[in-house]
Structure 1
């Protein structure tokens, strides 16, 4: 039923109630007033599944009117509605503000934390006394209505956590609203474009939150924000804002909280920040700030939260950091800070969180850190710290201790007090030089969930006490010198999810008790000396996703029950002594050759070894050996032959139980067994020598490279640590399998990989022979690409490097690629609105690569398969700048590298006299635009000819029939948008590079095509 009909029914009921003959009038019930009618009309636009507003009934309003209804507050006289508090009531539908204009005294309207959807309707300007409007945490979409700026009394406006899009209108700050506004929150939407300059007129603003949007540009802080001298909280984090932050921040002398993290701000941190005496929170993380930490920050005596992580700050860690005695959270990780950790950090008595990870710090860990009695989380990994772990540090009540990837030596430290045993939850001492044994006392760490001691020199048997960790989820002991058997009670707790024991000297069989690890999803036991058969008990691990058993001495057949593990995504059983058939189900139907090779006789067409079945052969005995008499009659018999042969000489009888062939076979088996024993001894000796050489090489490399360089084979992650953790990507190489392959490109193969809890990442396995072979070069180039952050770029989250294997880790796009949606998908074809949105988003992403980096990052391989879509069909450009990883970059290399991208390669790449530049990307982008409009591929091969898309479109445009080549599958489309976009595609694909526009011009043209009235004085394209 429409809202108009509901209003008519309400008015009809009201008229009936007011009529002299109505029962209500006769009974003396007060007639319904305007406010009652208004609230009933407003309620009619909402769906109320739990009946929270069921009492809002016009027929039962009573003499008190709506003031007796729940969630309604009136003035002291009980005659005027002042506040509507409708938050968290599960209301849904598209809200209409009709009826609220009948509430002339309404001051506060809250509909937060509901399920409201649709565009934000106009009509709020009819509430002249409205002071508070809270529509946060809903699903409202569309643009901000223009009349939001016409509320003369509005003090607080909260529209955060919705799906609002488009630019922030200037009218919001240039109207009457701005003169009274104190609180403005538009966070966690999809707003884009620059921050309006009119914002500076809101001189009474106290709290401004525009975080988690897609705002871009370089704000003029001096004229835009610094004049807001009353500001107490400023949050512009997680946008795409760029440029320097100008001096003058000291004008915000009332500022208490400053959040600029997750943008592209550059240059030095303004020194004036130390002149804001009331600051208690400063977050500048995730930018590209350079230079030293301003010395003026030591004057921020009230500062309790400071995060400067993931920038390019340099210089020594200042000793004055100890002056900030109010600090509880200090994060300086992911920079280029050097020197030693100053002893003054011990003066931070209230410090709860400290991270100095991924810098270039050296020297010993200061013993004064043990004075930070409140410290719960300490992260110093990825530096060049040496010496041993201070004993006092272990007597703190730490919950997280990360000292990985340093140069620490000595034995595993143990606390003298029991405080750490009760509190520690995550302990990472990997990639150091620790030696000795794993002490049994570690079993007292009852709350430990993550234990990583990999890449050290620990040498002992695995202590059976490891099974006492009742909460342990991740156990990583790779690349040590552990020997002996795997304890059978390792999984007694039942909580273990990741078990990695690769690269040790473990022997014996895999214990049957492994089946008790019911939570296990990753089991990696490769590069050991395990023997015996693969236990059937592995089939009890229903959550198992990754199984690595390569480079052991396992024998027998693979248990067929493993084929019933539905969650198994990757298996490697190569380099063992396995025989027989593989399981017929699950992942085993599509295993790669490399996962099976070098066994004794696995029955699979993928391997070259002959198939051998594990069936015992019977003992063959020669029956003739037991025939002791001749074939004639016995000595007492008669014969028809009269002649009698002389009797043969009688030989002594020797009973022979085996034939000659059996004896030969047994002898050969003995020789082979003896040979295997000799070879095994030689291999063991060689492996010991190889381990010694690897340790020596590793120490040489660690001493000759930067202290922050990761150990060989270690996963390196970029960006915010909360979005992806190293623990999510244990043993990156084990995540690869053809079973999860999702595509192949010019640089390698892409895999979709689960990291648990329903999360996925995309892993690109690079073509190693063609990529730079030195880790320092690889790290430098990938870090440049990882700094390219934009809402329309698929961010690189990390990498994994060894000389033989290089992986790039990025986010996974659940919507697939544009290539799949245009040409391969059976789903509903993309409508024109989505295609235009994709074209504009891709242009913004490419423009960011060209404009925001010096030298510019050239994509080189723009095509639909490299334009990925998220769940909202928002486009993100991927695989950008990977040509930087090539050891030699020239036109011929690029031409041969991208010969598979026929139609997208600019023609000048075939000419030796022209330089590869941004215009090559513009050409490829133009082809994508034409592909979006027509739905055709750039080059289509027929039986007798080849159709070139750009020539076809240009010819039909010249003939006046351009609309005939538009993809009809997308349904209705506006001619006034499709034709200009088609022309733009043709201009971008001009044969002459200088005739093509820049990507900045492309973005501007597309914005004009969509809203031609926005840019005045510009001719329609």
Structure 2
């Protein structure tokens, strides 16, 4: 608190001194020089809190007599006072300084949107009597709304605080006097609690957006029809909150309403019967709620409605014929409800319609013929009980259609050949019907088709060789049909394929080598066919391949190289004639060339004849020659395995001695880095953005550490928990005391620059740096405090009285950590490599969301001596160290972090440490899990603390992903972006996964 008083006094003295100087200088542009100089001084003080990386504010010079010529400033031509300050999208950062802005007493417009401002919204804004328009949207402002904001409502007309991180409830009396307010947007924040009961007093509101928050309660929160009393509203968006209960009658009171969005809440009961009495409505979205019952008849009166979505509710009854009266409709989505009956023929009257979805209902009958004579872009009628034929390819709809999904119905007949003549279609799904058709070769003509799903449609005949002539196909699924003949060699032309699924057919012949040309292929499913011969060894070169199933064919021989094939489990191989794998019981058939048998008589004849002894010798020779050739395969395999073990052992040993290359490998950081201050303060605590104090404080870090509690230690130093006094109370922080100064070779300017760059790396799953302290003898880094500690503590240091982490929490930690690493690898240019992914560097917030710490800190170590290599990196990283980190000849990149992340996954699933030492042996976790997977017992390694309360269909692919990530060959590991994508697919419910593929 003393520090706050000192800083407040300092700012007041600064303002007084500047005012004195300005008063002496005078100002000719106004009769009131003191007041005019208030504008200059206020803007200069405001600028002092900002970081301006592109020097947009260089024209702001305190020596000028007037600010009216400065960039981004507008003045009242009569009074000469600043009336507008617009700094939108300039890349500014820092705090919004209320003390400076408070001096701009004539300011009417303040717009600071699309910048990088942090901290809280200054309460001083409420003390600006002329302010009419305030736009702080698209920043990173946090904390609660200032209590004084209610004072501003008497003059404000436009208020936009959207796309920030403002939290907490809105004071209920905030809108007690808001007669002038016309536009209010608080969207995409973390606001909670009920919508203030005083909001209906803002009778001039025309636009209200409270979407994407955590507001709860119902809409009938006051007398006078509640929110419907805002009769001047044109746009009302309350979507994606936690609002519940029925929609109260009275919406028709808002006669001029054009857009009404209530989707993504918990509203229930019937749709409001008077909704059709809002004649000007153009957009209506009630999707993702719990509405029940039939459609209200009044809907048919909305002749100007262009967008109507009622999807993902529990609506029922027939789709009424009057739907065709809504002639302006362009987007109509009734999917995932309980509608019954037939599709009304009047849908053909909606000539403006571009998107139509009745997916996942209980509709029967034929598809209306006229529906395909209008210019639709998307049609989704999947998951109903529709019958009849697919419309002919000559229908007008195929001239514009981009997505067509008729899957999971009872359609019959041929697939129209002429469909392929139209090039706009990108998605075609006819699966799970009874078409009894051939695959038309003309489908290969689709120039933009990326998904072709014809699963379980009773297809027969062969797969056309030119099915991929367009080269754009990404997903090809022909499973569960009666296709015959070989897989065409031309399949190699499908250069964009990442999912090829031909399982459960009658395909014969060998697997074509041309599949090895599909460099983007991730999933290959060929099970339940009659394929023969050996698997082409070239398939082992597919670096992106993640999943393969070749079970129940007639395949023989050895598996291709590469981690995917070598890590297949038994279920992906079983049911073949003779695949060579330790997982399979039965014969191993290989096409080994016959041994070369030399005729000794030929040599004998050349050398002057032979004798009987020579004949005997010849037999022995042939016998021994046969034995040696037949054994060569086993000997070669043994040699390869032995060499591999030796190489890996040498790599692990050399890792203890050689890490000097990191100095060159760590030249990576976000391109959006900020320049350091020219003369950073030495021996003072620098906080980039803090509630505790301005940038440079007089806090003594040494005394702060004396009172702090040590909470951890790692490669880069010791971490303490400390607290600072701030404007709004005590702030808990974490302070990292860096390792001994002989390793930190930066001068204060360089150190300031490097740490500020790290502080700019922003992501929900990263623990950002908040500041630092530097002297030649002591360097400290300040960051947020994570209240739930580290993952290390939750996994391996848990008290017996504390329950273990649930599977859902473990998966959340996996996915969040993967997203944070993907941000470092793919969103920063050049990418940031962590080099130390392990549980102690994964911190957990109140909701167990992971926060990656210590990212980029290796950049601060300008030299790594033998002490660091031997005692720090090796002892700390242990089983997390990627093998290539021990070999300077290998290229070190982001795949090092992927390896550590793979080990982290194994720890989360098993609850075991990466390396465990027993009396007689050492257990390497990745090797242990790999062996169990090969034996078909991999679920035996799952942490018993979860008491079998986990979904096997998630755990098994997660373990497989971990083993791919910990491949000894860096190029065989996926990227972190791919890892995120795979984890999201794994977390998707099985039913939805089937829809995706």
Does the alignment reach a TM-score above 0.5? yes
| Structure 2: runs of 5+ lacking an equivalent | 1-5, 601-610, 627-762, 766-806, 817-837, 852-907, 910-942, 950-997
Matched residue, 1:184:
184
Question: Pick from 399, 411, 428: which aligns with 2:414?
Answer: 411
CA shift, 1:125, in A, is 1.2
Q: How does 1:390-789 map to 2 (within 5 A)?
A: 390-391=391-392, 392=395, 394-415=397-418, 421-492=422-493, 494-560=495-561, 562-563=562-563, 568=564, 583=566, 588=567, 591-598=568-575, 606-609=583-586
Mapped partners of 2:9, 2:441: distance in 1: 76
* CA shift for structure 1 position 230: 1.5
- Contact kept, 8 Å, 2:45 with 2:97, in 1: the verdict is no
Q: How big is the shift at 1:658?
A: 10
Partner SS, residue 443 of structure 2: helix
Residue 226, structure 1, aligned to residue 228, structure 2: yes
Measured after TM superposition, the shift of residue 475 of structure 1 is: 1.3
Contact map agreement 1:194 1:219 (CA 8 A) in 2: no
1:197 match: secondary structure: coil
Q: CA deviation at 1:201?
A: 1.8
| Equivalent position SS for 2:166 | strand
Q: Which position in structure 1 is the counterpart of 2:53?
A: 49
Q: Residues 551 and 574 of structure 2 are in contact (CA less than 8 Å); yes or no, is this contact kept in structure 1?
A: no
Farther off after superposition, 222-231 or 45-54: 222-231
Q: Which residue of 2 aligns with 1:251?
A: 253
- Indicate the residue corresponding to 2:644 in structure 1: none
Q: Distance in 2 between matches of 1:532 and 1:38?
A: 82
Contact 1:142 1:164 survives alignment (8 Å): yes
Instruction: Look up the SS of the partner of 2:45 in the other structure.
Output: helix
Q: 2:62 aligns with which of 38, 55, 58?
A: 58
1:622–1:658 Cα contact (<8 Å) kept: no
Q: Report the CA distance between 1:42 and its aligned residue.
A: 0.9
What's the counterpart of residue 3 of structure 2?
A: none
Residue in 1 that maps onto 2:822: none
Per the TM alignment, residue 295 of structure 1 is displaced from its structure 2 partner at its CA by: 0.8
Task: Output the CA distance in 2 between the equivalents of 1:347 and 1:441.
Answer: 31
| Shift of residue 436, structure 1, vs aligned partner | 2.2
Query: Max radius of gyration: which structure?
Result: 1
CA contact (8 A) 1:347 1:371 kept: no
Match of 1:153 among 152, 155, 159: 155
Return the offset for 1:407: 0.7
Give, in whole Å, the separation in 1 of the partners of 2:560 and 2:587: 19
CA deviation map 1:365-403 (0-9, x unaligned):
111113323x11111111111100222255441011111
Distance (whole Å) between structure 2 residues aligned to residue 40 and residue 453 of structure 1: 67
Indicate the residue corresponding to 1:307 in structure 2: 309
- Give the drift of 1:460: 1.8
Instruction: Determine if contact 2:219/2:248 at 8 Å carries over to the other structure.
Output: no
Partner of 1:578: none
Would you say the 8 A contact 1:170–1:198 is kept in 2? yes
Task: Tell me the distance in 2 between the aligned counterparts of 1:92 and 1:524.
Answer: 51
How far apart, in 1, do the equivalents of 2:490 and 2:526 lie?
A: 16
- 1:358 corresponds in structure 2 to 360
SS where residue 188 of structure 1 aligns? coil
The change in CA–CA distance for 1:386 and 1:494 in structure 2 (over 3 A counts) is same
Q: How many residues align?
A: 644
SS at match of 2:539: helix
Task: Flag structure 1 segments of 5+ consecutive residues without an equivalent.
Answer: 572-582, 624-633, 635-653, 666-757, 761-808, 819-823, 839-864, 867-897, 905-1021
Partner Cα separation in structure 2 for residue 165 and residue 514 of structure 1: 53
Deviation of 1:492 (Å): 2.3
Change (3 A) 1:293 1:145: same
Residue 344 to residue 481, structure 1, CA distance change in 2 (3 Å): same
Counterpart Cα distance in 1 of 2:70 and 2:515: 62
- Answer yes or no: is 1:213 the counterpart of 2:247: no
Question: Is 2:556–2:580's contact at 8 Å kept on the other side of the alignment?
Answer: no
| Equivalent residue, structure 2, for 1:752 | none
Query: d(CA) in 2 for partners of 1:512 and 1:443?
Result: 21
2:87 match: 86
Q: Quickly say closer, same or farther: Cα 1:83–1:158, change in 2 above 3 A.
A: same
Partners in 2 of 1:490 and 1:903 — Cα distance?
43
- Give the superposition deviation at 1:298: 0.3
| Separation in 1, partners of 2:502, 2:948 | 49
CA distance in 1, matches of 2:355, 2:448: 19
Determine the C-alpha separation between the residues in 1 that align with 2:810 and 2:273: 39
Matched position secondary structure for 1:271? coil
How does the TM-score come out when normalised to structure 2?
A: 0.59
Instruction: Work out whether residues 398 and 422 of structure 2, in 8 Å CA contact, stay in contact via their aligned partners in 1.
Output: no
In the TM superposition, 1:855-894 aligns within 5 A as none
- Residues 1:452 and 1:658: Cα distance change in structure 2 (over 3 Å): farther
Matched-pair contact (CA < 8 Å) for 1:67–1:78 = no
Helix, strand or coil at the partner of 1:314: strand
Write the mapping of 1:846-857 to structure 2, written as runs, cut at 5 A.
none
Q: Which residue of structure 1 aligns with residue 193 of structure 2?
A: 193
Task: Find the aligned partners of 1:488 and 1:607 in 2 and give their Cα distance.
Answer: 29
Contact 2:348/2:373, CA 8 A, preserved across alignment: yes
Are the structure 2 counterparts of residues 236 and 543 from structure 1 closer, same or farther at C-alpha, using a change threshold of 3 Å?
A: same
**Residue in 1 aligned with 2:282?**
280
Partners in 2 of 1:517 and 1:268 — Cα distance?
52
1:373-392 equivalences in 2 (<5 Å): 373=375, 375-391=376-392, 392=395
Residues 554, 576 of structure 2: 8 Å contact kept: no
**Inter-CA distance 530–811: structure 2 relative to 1 (3 Å threshold):** farther
Equivalent pair of 1:599/1:609 in contact (CA under 8 Å): no
Counterpart in 2 of 1:721? none
Q: How far 1:406 moved relative to its partner?
A: 0.7
SS of alignment partner, residue 490 of structure 2? coil
Q: 1:42 to 1:300 in 2, by over 3 A?
A: same
Q: Distance in 1 between matches of 2:96 and 2:404?
A: 50
Distance of aligned partners of 1:518 and 1:830 in 2 relative to their CA distance in 1, 3 Å threshold: closer
Q: Name the structure 2 match of 1:333.
A: 335
Query: Structure 2 vs 1, CA of residues 161 and 302 (structure 1 numbering), >3 Å: closer, same or farther?
Result: same
Cα distance in 2, alignment partners of residues 512 and 387 from structure 1? 40
Deviations 1:706-730 (A, max 9, x none): xxxxxxxxxxxxxxxxxxxxxxxxx
Q: Where do 1:20-31 residues align within 5 Å?
A: none
Change (3 A) 1:301 1:104: same
Contact 1:338 1:359 in 2 (8 A): yes
Equivalent-residue separation in structure 1 for 2:411 and 2:849 (angstroms): 55
The answer (yes or no) to whether the contact 1:382–1:404 under 8 Å persists in 2 is: yes
Aligned to 2:921: none
Equivalent pair of 1:242/1:265 in contact (CA under 8 Å): yes
C-alpha separation in 2, matches of 1:331 and 1:811: 34
CA distance in 1, matches of 2:369, 2:433: 19
Contact 1:3 1:44 in 2 (8 A): no
TM-score of the two chains, using structure 1 as the length reference: 0.57
Which residue of the partner structure matches residue 813 of structure 2? 815
8 Å CA contact retained: 2:185, 2:210: yes
Deviation at 1:270, TM superposition (A): 1.1
The 1:393/1:228 distance shift into structure 2, 3 A limit, reads same
Contact map agreement 1:180 1:204 (CA 8 A) in 2:
yes
Contact map agreement 1:395 1:415 (CA 8 A) in 2: no
Q: Give the corresponding residue for 1:961.
A: none
Tell me the equivalent position of 1:932.
Answer: none
Residues of 2 paired with 1:423 and 1:903: CA distance?
49
